[in-house]
Structure 1
Amino acid sequence: MRQKQKQPIRLMKCKAYSREMMMSAYKAVKDDHLPVDRAAIMYGVPKQTLRDRVLNKVKISSRWGKDSLFTYEEEELLVSHLEGLAQVGYGINRSQLNILAGDLAVKLGRRLTESKLSNNWYYAFLRRWTHRLKVIKPRGLSSTRAAAVTQENIDSYFRDLDAILTKYSLKCKPHLIHNLDETDIQPEHRPSKVIT
């Protein structure tokens, strides 16, 4: 028995056209009484798209492409929030941003369910804000170091540091203070990429 050979999936080709091309075709139909089919061919626009605008099914001034979930101003607030988080050392990853944006959409009444947004939204969002956001891989932090970062330990460190600076009269001699750090540490904790 012969197996039926699978046919390759044919993708529909979308012809690119500009707003100016559509406006010229629209004016040719409305002002010069050119048939829709001929105007569409002359100006390189889809026939049905032009026909919908001529018949007022779609406004000629309607926005191109799919509407964004958030307005420009709302997205700018989200970007500012992400920048603020990054400045204090708290970058969030893709999944966290999708959840945060999903919660925001629910609070603004744009979505009914409290579920995270898709990765399609995430990548489109990053493309719109490449001039302010980028995804980076943060440095790792060992688990023992992460566990040691408590408020008590931090307070104790600064008390001890103040005592040393006072003991050796270094508070007014910053040129004698040097900062040293560990090198060649293999961190155990390897966080995911974050938006900064």
Structure 2
Amino acid sequence: MGVNEASRQFGIPGATLRRRRKNGDLVKRQLGPASILGSINESKLVAHIRKLQQCGFAPTRSMVRSMAFDLAEKLKLKYNFNRESRKAGYPWLESFLRRNKELAIRKSEGVSAARALGMNRKDVASYFSLLENTLTEHDLMNKPGSVFNMDETGLQLNNTPEHVVAIKGSKNVAAVTSSEKGETISIIACCNAEGAFIPPVCIFKGKNKKAEFEDGMPPGAAVFMGDKSAYVTKELFLRWLKEQFVPRKPVGKVLLLLDGHSSH
């Protein structure tokens, strides 16, 4: 096939074909600027996103931008990402999606909606198949002491006033509670399949931790402070993982089961 015929058939300018043929330049390249992370690192990022989705934790656009920034920092690459927000920009995300056609922006199904609709046979079978394969692959099927489950729950600090014995005819009978409206705290609990518990962690809203917050807590338990709320954040969850779970887990591989909360 001649150059002119190839130009007509494939819609490529004839001058481009002649120049590339003359220079022996036969390597296909992406249009636009080169990737900041590089093609190899981007393929690893795509593989990581695919793995997260398979486990039910497909990342948001904001999370992917944070992943790109963290990866560039770890590899000490030159980048123009925002250091203050510690995220890659939206233009980078758009280019990343254009270069990796297997990825797309999809509307996810919230956990609450899934619970409202109820589980189905396919979801249940998929979950237990993944669980069985994971236990078998890592030789944990007969090691219940190495299979953990964690979750967090909210508790009200103040108690509900109860019926009390008082003087007959009294107009105002007060019962002291810990607060007026009732402050909510979060508790992270974790145990393994043998029933052994990791000491719990309580999360209070505020910056300054008081010593009395830990009064009466089990040995090894801890109090974390949340700047904006008493909810679990990804920073507090990572801290719990490093300071409470890892030092107390058995030697070797373990399996940690948890739900799809955004902080996880």
TM range (shorter): 0.3 to 0.5
Give the TM-score, by structure 2 length. Answer: 0.32
Choose between structure 1 and 2: higher helix proportion. 1
Structure with larger Rg: 1
Give the TM-score, by structure 1 length. Answer: 0.41
